[in-house]
Chain A
């Protein structure tokens, strides 16, 4: 029983990392209607910026996170402006391929700047851990911080898109770009802001990912990025609470699958569950089925 609880907690802490990455995916997809496959690599850049700020400039962790957020925000706006905006009228496939290209560009730039040698991320968010059942059950402070950050971000994003003027503009753009433009909404600016927010979230996700699993190399973002994308689809892509639930479930399924079935099949189990869910709920757990009007 204790071991089950332990695996559950490990699953939740892994899942909360997936969830925070998935929030960025779902936010951009929900509004710009595009899959930003470079999201995982923006996370990696954010983590490197925070790493450099802490290790080389000796800045306090909070300032380092703010630095990472600032750099990623600018990076997100640049990527959107240079790579995606010129393709606004192009086919979805062209945008998708461009996103994959941006992902490789970021990875290879990181290889040039930071070398392929892995680095260990400093423990900035370690305030000890909670030990229960005589040390059999350990809950780390990173896990708690990640979960709390998740909830705050989820609530913040929901409030932002629901209540503010920019949020309303975002929803309008998401529903119909042409109509939104006719109503006087600056579509390009709205999408830029979406990318800025998504990339700032990526920076936070990068720091949380690397605090929980402290190695950092140019490919750090890619695998968690793909898992988080899966989580976003699982929860219903475009839905903010869906990303959170999808991420948590994915982490729990992965850990329990590895613990009780086989570590050899860890990922196979995760993706098998995804397939089953999509067979019965094609729009994901919380996704709204889209009806095309003709």
Chain B
């Protein structure tokens, strides 16, 4: 039976080696972050930007050595039901926290499930208040929709763009109303004078009254918390009556330059509140843009930058909280909530960020201005 003993010995030795490896692997177990967004379908432009932004961040972090990151990416096609399936899939695959989801509607639904199951979520770009409302485990990298109003007023006051301001808002759209109200409240605190407030409704085509009112009241700046399609009509109307104030839009304005058939000269000098501009000259942005271009062949937009920041924030907070690849997701969730509601801060591509209990982010507002048909970072 010598022969059999030898085999047993060999098997035992093998088991020991495997066991040692397993022990060693537990220490090197990467931190697993679920990334969920629409990689296909109508909203794919946002999901893919987010996915590649996260990949650039993960590659940078992994190149530094130290704790490694593994991204678990799942497509949700911007559909709430599919997003829940994607969430279940990444959790089954061992995700410990979620960088996502990218778009608002799925994020509200997935956030509710994650809240019950105690999984930490940091959404890069779902900006509605409903995303974080009543959920202690969901945080945002982007400004909450209405906070864009506050941020815009601060930006205008800080950079002394104007003192007399007109607002044209869509009173049939909660997005526009929310930003309008917070802008007005903050403008009052900052001694910005609002000289004209004019509303319109979805489907309205004639903006002559609104624009004339702004002109007649001597507004130096017209704040447009609206989408780019009515904004394009407002810009054309202003030009037709030789009125050339500063126009200031929020994220809904993004897209005006790609509007088919639009005369981009109309948008010359238009400001847009945005956390990221790809031609900012700091080294970090330049490195990010270069890596992103290498990966995708495209120039990153704000979604890519938001998601890059989300991965870094999750990683740094995990390191601070002593979370590693073996921490259970619910334990990680409580530790991360403690971090994010504590004095955790991070210097990201989209600004210096900190969070409060609500899950909303606090960061310095930034804006770009349109010059020669392109976005240019604004420095005065």
Contact = CB atoms under 8 A, between A and B. Distances in A.
Nearest to B255: A117
Given A121-B261, A215-B232, A140 B240 contact: yes
Interface stretch (B58-66, B97-105, B206-214, B347-355): B206-214
B202 to A, nearest CB: 8
B326 to A, nearest CB: 46
A266 B232 contact: no
Contacts of B203: 219, 222-224
Contact of A263 (B199, B205, B233): B199
B256 to A, nearest CB: 10
Contact of A129 (B230, B240, B260): B240
Interface string B229-260: 11011001000111000000000000000011
Interface stretch (A3-11, A159-167, A184-192, A279-287): A3-11
User: Which of A209, A217, A219, A266 neighbours the largest number of chain B CB atoms within 10 Å of its CB?
Assistant: A266
Contacts of A55: 260-261
Contacts of A267: 201
A281 B219 CA distance: 43
Contacts of A258: 209-210
Nearest to A17: B205
A214 B208 contact: no
Contacts of A6: 208, 212
Nearest to A222: B203
Which label, helix, strand, loop or mixed, suits the secondary structure of the B interface?
Answer: mixed
Contacts of A219: 203
Interface hub of B171, B236, B241, B259 (most chain A Cβ within 10 A): B241
Interface string A115-138: 001111110000001000001001
Interface residues of B, number: 29
Contacts of B229: 118, 215, 217
A255 B206 contact: yes
A213 B233 contact: yes
A10 B209 contact: yes
A188 B232 CA distance: 44
A263 B261 contact: no
B205 A213 contact: yes
Contacts of B262: 120
A259 B209 contact: yes
Contacts of B205: 14, 209, 212-213, 215, 223-224
Interface of B: 171, 198-206, 208-210, 212-213, 216, 229-230, 232-233, 236, 240-242, 259-263
Given A120-B263, A255-B206, 9 more contacts: A7-B208, A117-B260, A118-B232, A119-B259, A119-B261, A120-B259, A212-B205, A215-B205, A258-B209
Interface of A: 3, 6-7, 10, 14, 51, 55, 117-122, 129, 135, 138, 140, 209, 212-215, 217, 219, 222-224, 254-255, 258-259, 262-264, 266-267
23 contacts: A7-B212, A10-B206, A14-B205, A51-B261, A117-B259, A119-B259, A119-B260, A119-B261, A120-B260, A120-B261, A129-B240, A138-B242, A209-B205, A214-B233, A254-B206, A255-B206, A259-B213, A262-B199, A263-B198, A263-B200, A263-B209, A266-B199, A267-B201
Shortest Cβ-Cβ A-B pairs, 9 listed: A223-B203, A213-B205, A120-B261, A10-B208, A119-B260, A258-B209, A120-B262, A118-B229, A263-B198
